[in-house]
Amino acid sequence: MNEMTSVSQETSAKTPALPDAQTVTDVKHWTDRLFSFRMTRPASMRFRSGEFVMIGLMGEVNEKTGKAKPLLRAYSIASPSWDEELEFYSIKVQDGPLTSRLQHIKVGDEVIMRPKPVGTLVHDALLPGKRIWFFATGTGFAPFASLLREPQTYEDYDEIIITHTCREAGELTYGRELIEGLQQDELLNEVIGDGFWKKIKYYPTTTREQSPKMGRITDLMRSGEAFDELGVEPLNPESDRAMICGNLAFNLELKEMFEEYGLEEGANSKPAHYVVEKAFLD
Ligand SMILES: Cc1cc2nc3c(=O)[nH]c(=O)nc-3n(C[C@H](O)[C@H](O)[C@H](O)COP(=O)(O)OP(=O)(O)OC[C@H]3O[C@@H](n4cnc5c(N)ncnc54)[C@H](O)[C@@H]3O)c2cc1C
Ligand SMILES: NC(=O)c1ccc[n+]([C@@H]2O[C@H](COP(=O)([O-])OP(=O)(O)OC[C@H]3O[C@@H](n4cnc5c(N)ncnc54)[C@H](OP(=O)(O)O)[C@@H]3O)[C@@H](O)[C@H]2O)c1
């Protein structure tokens, strides 16, 4: 999985010049709209796989005050809690205040991070179950990139189903390579248990470009096609747990379907059957 090369000792040892700054150790571009990067992790930083943090770059200098403020955005941590570095999976919005610049970062550059992880896509927010579903659209795959490499996912569940719906086939590559890479990853097989990846069922679909499976996951579930192809029954509160991370309409549509299945939404303070987080704000 770690096909990304590591930064040299010299670069990682560099003293950060910005407050809360971390040093970029790797950057990989997946499409003209998607990239991932890795950076150093503060030694004191703890987080639960699936959580998000605020990251960003220094903003422009304000003409009146002569000062610059950090320009921060919420980002799911894509690496698991045990990884010595942090990984992020990002969109490139051409006129986006942050990502119009962030997409140009290089190894050795600094990224600001407020080391206060939060979020609802955590195992603690779910009651025990047999099977866990991860439902993602677009960059909503990021928290699941973390949870798919988290030993607890395999300790807690017999079966892990990950669905990823994107417009175009190329937008599935980061997730597909990560999942395929789990099989060969010696460290993960050792940490999690030999052959842990056999518990995973991966269901990628596209909506606007031809691929082996076309359609929105919501439609494929309503028609029963997704369940037939996965060889499982529709979700039920006794055995199934789920995490959702996508655009707002997707999240709302799935929530409505889950309520029909009898699943209840959970939170850190009140674990239940499923949890939801937005992949971006609108
Ligand atoms: C809890 C949470 C977790 C997030 N995690 C991630 C993450 O792991 N990776 C990531 O790339 N973004 C993530 N985001 C979105 C992120 O915070 C920013 O919106 C994004 O980086 C774009 O920043 P920007 O300043 O360039 O543009 P913004 O002004 O923030 O956004 C401009 C427009 O771009 C679109 N947009 C923004 N983010 C996305 C996206 N991820 N996918 C598709 N369209 C988008 C929206 O239409 C938005 O109105 C997350 C948001 C939230 C609320
Ligand atoms: N992806 C691109 O190629 C592209 C290019 C330029 C600009 N943009 C802009 O970037 C923003 C985000 O695009 P994005 O593609 O990353 O994210 P997105 O619009 O959230 O779409 C991601 C995937 O989710 C599906 N989806 C959307 N609503 C759904 C629902 N209610 N239920 C089930 N599935 C649903 C989409 O299917 P549908 O295709 O059926 O909607 C698509 O396959 C948009 O504002 C878009 O205009 C995207």
DSSP letters spanning 231-250: T-PPP-TTTEEEEEEE-HHH
The predicted structure's pLDDT at residue 15: 53
Amino acid at 30: W
The predicted structure's pLDDT at residue 16: 56
- Residues 124 and 271: beta-carbon distance below 8 Å: yes
The ligand 2 atom at the shortest distance from the C-alpha of residue 167 is 43
d(CA 89, CA 260): 32
Q: Tally the C-alpha atoms within 13 A of residue 52's C-alpha that lie toward its C-beta.
A: 25
Q: What are the beta bridge partners of residue 110? A: 23
The Cβ of residue 251 has, within 10 Å, a number of other Cβ atoms equal to 19
d(CA 262, CA 260): 5
Give per-10-residue mean pLDDT for the chain (282 aa).
39 58 98 98 96 95 90 98 97 97 98 96 98 98 98 96 98 98 92 93 98 98 98 98 98 97 96 97 84
d(CA 199, CA 159): 5
Q: What residues are in contact with ligand 1 under a 6 Å CB criterion?
A: 52, 73-76, 89-91, 93, 96-100, 138-139, 142, 277-282
Reported pTM: 0.94
Contacts of 278 (CB under 8 A, 6+ apart): 245, 246, 247, 248, 251
Measured in degrees and rounded to the nearest 5, phi and psi for residue 18 equal -95, 155
The predicted structure's pLDDT at residue 282: 80
End-to-end CA distance of the chain: 32
**In degrees, to the nearest 5, what angle opens at C-alpha 255 toward C-alphas 254 and 258?**
85
- Residues 77 and 48: beta-carbon distance below 8 Å: no
The ligand 2 atom at the shortest distance from the C-alpha of residue 93 is 10
> How much distance in Å is there from the Cα of 225 to the middle of ligand 2?
21
Contacts of 154 (CB under 8 A, 6+ apart): 160, 192, 193, 196, 199
**9, 14, 18, 21 alpha-carbon torsion, rounded to 10°:** 20
d(CA 59, CA 40): 21
> How much distance in Å is there from the Cα of 65 to the middle of ligand 1?
28
The ligand 2 atom at the shortest distance from the C-alpha of residue 217 is 33
The predicted structure's pLDDT at residue 60: 87
| DSSP 8-state assignment for residue 120 | S
Q: Which ligand is nearest to the CA of 248?
A: 2
State the alpha helices, DSSP H only, in 185-270: 186-192, 217-222, 225-230, 248-261
